[in-house]
Amino acid sequence: MQDNLGSKYLKLERDGPIAWCIIDRPEAKNALTPAMYYGIQKAIKLVTHDPDLHALVTTGTGDSFAPVATWVETDPNELKIGGQLGSGVLPFRAILNSPIPVVSAVNGHCRGGGLVITVGCRMRSCPKRRN
C-alpha cells in the first residue's frame, strides 16, 4: 500500500489490518513540513475509508519521531501549501474525528508538530469500527 500522501517524506504501509504512516526524513530528524501535515491527514482519511484496515500507527524512522516543524518546503516535489496558519492542527483534527484508532509509536524526540500528533492520539476515545 503505497499511496501518494503529497510528501516524499511520508510512507503509508499495510501490515495486515494495521496501516503505518511512517515519517521518513532522517536528514532533518523527521521535522514536519506543511505538506507532511496534510499528508498525515490524508493517510487517516485513506485508512478510514478502507474496510480492511482497523487502525493507523504513526511513527518515525531513526532515533526521532518528530521534534519540530519546518515551515519552508525545501523540496520541489513537495505539495506546495506554504506555511499556512493553522495547518499544523490538521492531523490533530483528523485524529480526533477518526472513527478508527490512531496510535503514535514514539521512537525518540517528540516536540512541536510530533507532540500535536501524539496528543491527539492520547486524547481521543476509540469508538468501535463501523462495518
Query: Residue 76: which domain range?
Result: 10-123
Phi (first) and psi of residue 79, to 5 degrees: -55, 130
Tell whether 5 is covered by a domain: no
Q: How far apart are CA 53 and CA 60, in angstroms?
A: 20
CB 87 within 8 A of CB 81: yes
Task: Tell me whether residue 51 is exposed, middle or buried, using C-beta atoms within 10 angstroms of its C-beta: 0 to 12, 13 to 18, 19 or more.
Answer: exposed
Amino acid at 7: S
Any domain includes 15: yes
Q: Per residue of the chain (131 residues), what is the pLDDT tens digit?
A: 556 788 889 999 999 999 999 999 988 889 888 888 888 889 999 999 999 999 999 999 988 888 776 655 555 555 555 545 455 566 778 888 888 999 998 988 888 778 878 877 765 555 554 44
Tell me how far apart the alpha carbons of residues 131 and 37 are, in angstroms, rounded to a whole number: 28
Gap between the terminal Cα atoms of the chain: 21
Residue 78 maps to which CATH number?
3.90.226.10
